[in-house]
Structure formats: structure tokens, C-alpha cells
């Protein structure tokens, strides 16, 4: 990298300091509001341990989507299942909150309620940034996965406090940056939807990687640009000019797909066929076995693999292609960096997390960093030039 992140590791005396810690505890919840996957919680633990061992007063903020939009269930999970001494504070500014902070001890973490409940968070309100900054002597961003958002807790607070990258944040930058000067052969694999937002990334890595595989609904746009029928499959709403990439020698797409007829929505009704033979009433749901075998050959010989996004409609139970891809990358000898919501869900479901070189907490942030080499939250920390 052309610059060095100011790291919390560089601070030698942290004892007694108040640290405002931005975490990403935005985990999936069950309909009952229970934690369904603790991946991001576990990724936060090294940072929490690091600060607690140094006698820091940790004041943590995060956001969460899902049922009720409350971090209370996350706080309960951290206490019950991980044994963390933690006090949950439902309001950022309240007389009771002030009392909790006054009595806080270094062994206790204070976690505030969902920061996005504050009206100024998403519009980077300087007043909210000031209220947050008043909670700490310094700021640590360990929420790489939301650092593509110019929110108050990401870019506003660093203007007001000495600011540092957390342990997970630094790991993300280190591992993802390898894609800019990779060992070879290097294969870049991208799936999912929203080609318009991912097209710059595909163009960039066609120049960097030895091969770029485009799967999932993204491949439908390429099929359409090649004049093939995609039936009722998901495609971009806008017209995209793919003329510069559609026949690129490094661009790989599925050579067979799993399709479902419009009149039979059962998973078992889906069949495999060539993209050239997709009917007008059919929907492409997943990659086929020939595609996966072709990928296996590439992956087994790759020195470096980056993967983000599913190969099929993962949320509609067409997870076979995505999970087989996860297993083959996990078994590969090359270095592997993977990320994205459905990607991580597949990895967690298969219990393969430890088999990859690095599993990113970021979906959109991972893609934005790979595309641009920076993020709003990264720039807000104030890079130190080499």
C-alpha cells in the first residue's frame, strides 16, 4: 500500500483512556430476534480483548438491521454465550447513561443502542458526531464493513478525536490490498446481482487478474449482451454497455446453468442446460456442474483467489453451486480472500471459515475498496504516507 494506517497498536499507554469504538455488530437475527450467525461478533472479539487487557474504558457503538433494529439481543448474546462483561445502554444521551459511564470500570464494555436510530447518523450530522466524540479520548474504527458509508460514526467523529484503525480493520486492508499486486495465477470470482455497481470492478480486474469469472445474476447481463435469451431471469433494469468486456479473453461465464420453468417453482423441477438454450419462460437459478468443474480446474492451479457473491439464487434455496464453490476454494492450495453476505453465509453453514486465508466482514465495503483502493472511513483516519 502507498500509505500506512494509524493503528491503535502504535499507542503504548492506553490505561485509563476512554475509547469510542465503532464496531459492526450487524448480525442476522431470527424472527424471534435471536442472533442467527455470530461471525461479525467473533471478529470483534480480538479488538475488545486488546483494549480491555490494556485497561481501556470501551464505549462501543454499532448499528443493526432486522427485527426491531435493536442491539439488545446482540448484547445479551455477548454476555450469555461469550462471557463478556458488558452493559447495554438504550439511549445515547440520558441521565442514566451518564451514571453508567461515570461508574464504568476497565473490565466492563458499554454498548450503546443502534446508532442508526439517531437521526443524524446517516447524514453525517456534526452535532451527533460531537455528542459521540464527547464519549471518548480517542476513536477506533474496527468496522471496515460499513466504512464505505460517510456516516457520523465513521467519518464525522475522526475530525474531532485522535483516530486509529482497529485490528480487524487493519487486517481487512492488508489482505484485500494483495489483490492489487497479486501472486499468480490469480482468479477473481464475482457473483450476485446489480451489475451496474460491479461493472467498474469487473473492468479493473480484467486488467489485473489472469481470469475473471462472472456468475450469479450478473452473468445474465453478459448472456443478454451476447444476444442470448435469458427468459425471465434477473437482469439489470438499465441498459449497460458491455461491449468492451463481453468478448474479453479473460472473462469467464457459466457454460451451463440450472433453470426453472415458470409454471413449476419447485426446486426439483429445475434442469441443467446450456445458456444458449434458455427458454423464454425459464429462469436461471444457479450454475451447472460443467461450470463448477471448469472452475475447479482454474482454482486448483491458482496462487491467489478472490471471491465475492453467490453463483445462484441463494435466498431461494439454490445454494448448491455456491456451496460447492466454497468447498473447492477451501480445499485449494493458493491463498484465498473471500467476502459478501451470502458468501459468508455459505461458509458459515459449511463450517469452512478456518479453511480460507481471510474471510472479510465486508460485502459492499470489500467491493468498493477493491474498485477504488480507498473508502470514506479509511480516508477519515488520516493516512500516514510512507
Q: Where are the domains of the chain?
A: 3-168, 175-364
Q: How far apart (Å, rounded) are the C-alpha atoms in residues 20 and 135? A: 6
pLDDT of res. 147: 98
**Cβ contact 165:7 at 8 Å:** yes
Cell representation of residue 161: 478525536
- The maximal CA–CA distance of the chain, rounded, in angstroms, is 69
CA-closest candidate to residue 298, choices 185, 182, 178, 183:
185
**Cβ contact 363:342 at 8 Å:** no
- The dihedral region occupied by 343, where left means phi > 0, alpha psi between -120 and 50, and beta the remainder, is alpha
Other C-beta atoms lying within 10 Å of the C-beta of residue 143: 31
Which class in CATH covers the domain with range 3-168?
alpha beta
Q: Do domains 3-168 and 175-364 have the same CATH topology?
A: yes
Backbone phi, then psi, for 167, in 5-degree steps? -65, -45
Q: How far apart (Å, rounded) are the C-alpha atoms in residues 217 and 195? A: 8
pLDDT of res. 146: 97
Q: How far apart (Å, rounded) are the C-alpha atoms in residues 253 and 223? A: 9
pLDDT of res. 314: 86
CA-closest candidate to residue 253, choices 281, 283, 282, 226:
226
pLDDT per residue rounded down to tens, the chain (386 residues)? 445 789 999 998 999 999 999 999 999 998 888 999 999 999 999 999 999 999 999 999 999 996 668 999 999 999 999 999 999 999 998 889 999 999 999 889 999 999 999 999 999 999 999 999 999 999 999 999 999 999 999 999 999 999 999 999 999 999 999 999 999 999 999 999 989 889 999 999 999 999 999 999 999 999 999 999 999 999 998 889 999 999 999 999 999 999 998 877 677 778 999 999 999 999 999 999 999 999 999 999 999 999 999 999 988 889 999 999 999 999 999 999 999 989 999 999 999 999 999 999 999 999 999 999 999 999 999 865 43
Backbone phi, then psi, for 319, in 5-degree steps? -105, -5
pTM for the predicted model, two decimal places: 0.93
pLDDT of res. 67: 61
Order of all β-strands in the sheet with 282-287: 271-273, 257-261, 282-287
Which class in CATH covers the domain with range 175-364?
alpha beta
Amino acid at each position: 500500500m502507498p500509505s500506512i494506517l494509524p493503528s491503535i497498536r502504535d499507542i503504548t499507554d492506553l490505561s485509563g483512556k476512554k475509547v469510542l469504538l465503532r464496531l459492526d455488530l450487524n448480525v442476522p437475527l431470527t424472527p424471534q430476534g435471536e442472533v442467527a450467525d455470530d461471525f461479525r461478533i467473533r471478529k470483534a472479539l480480538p479488538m475488545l480483548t486488546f483494549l480491555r487487557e490494556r485497561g481501556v474504558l470501551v464505549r462501543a457503538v454499532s448499528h443493526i438491521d432486522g427485527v426491531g433494529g435493536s442491539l439488545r439481543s446482540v448484547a445479551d448474546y455477548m454476555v450469555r454465550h461469550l462471557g463478556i462483561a458488558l452493559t447495554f445502554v438504550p439511549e445515547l444521551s440520558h441521565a442514566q447513561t451518564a451514571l453508567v459511564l461515570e461508574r464504568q470500570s476497565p473490565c466492563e464494555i458499554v454498548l450503546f443502542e443502534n446508532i442508526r436510530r439517531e437521526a443524524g447518523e446517516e447524514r453525517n450530522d456534526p452535532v451527533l458526531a460531537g455528542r459521540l466524540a464527547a464519549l471518548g479520548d480517542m476513536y477506533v474504527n474496527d468496522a471496515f464493513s460499513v466504512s464505505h458509508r460517510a456516516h457520523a460514526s465513521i467519518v464525522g467523529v475522526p475530525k474531532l478525536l485522535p483516530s486509529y484503525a482497529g485490528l480487524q480493520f487493519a487486517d481487512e486492508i492488508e489482505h484485500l490490498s494483495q489483490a492489487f499486486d497479486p501472486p499468480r495465477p490469480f482468479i477473481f470470482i464475482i457473483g450476485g446481482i446489480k451489475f451496474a455497481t460491479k461493472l467498474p470492478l469487473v473492468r479493473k480486474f480484467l486488467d489485473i487478474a489472469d481470469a475473471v469469472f462472472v456468475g450469479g445474476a450478473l452473468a445474465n447481463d453478459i448472456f443478454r449482451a451476447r444476444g442470448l435469451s435469458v427468459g425471465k431471469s434477473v437482469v439489470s433494469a438499465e441498459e449497460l454497455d458491455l461491449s468492451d468486456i463481453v468478448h474479453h479473453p479473460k472473462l469467464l461465464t457459466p457454460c451451463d446453468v440450472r433453470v426453472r420453468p415458470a409454471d413449476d417453482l419447485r426446486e426439483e423441477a429445475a434442469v441443467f442446460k446450456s445458456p444458449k438454450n434458455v427458454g423464454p419462460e425459464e429462469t436461471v437459478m444457479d450454475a451447472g456442474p460443467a461450470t463448477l468443474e471448469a472452475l475447479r480446474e482454474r482454482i486448483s492451479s491458482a496462487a491467489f483467489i478472490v471471491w465475492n457473491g453467490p453463483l445462484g439464487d441463494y435466498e431461494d434455496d439454490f445454494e448448491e453451486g455456491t456451496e460447492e464453490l466454497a468447498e473447492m476454494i477451501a480445499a485449494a492450495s493458493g491463498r484465498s480472500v473471500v467476502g459478501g453476505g451470502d458468501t459468508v453465509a455459505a461458509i458459515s453453514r459449511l463450517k469452512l471459515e478456518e479453511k480460507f486465508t481471510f474471510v472479510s466482514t465486508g460485502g459492499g465495503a470489500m467491493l468498493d475498496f477493491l474498485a477504488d483502493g480507498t473508502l470514506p472511513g479509511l480516508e477519515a483516519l488520516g493516512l500516514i504516507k510512507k
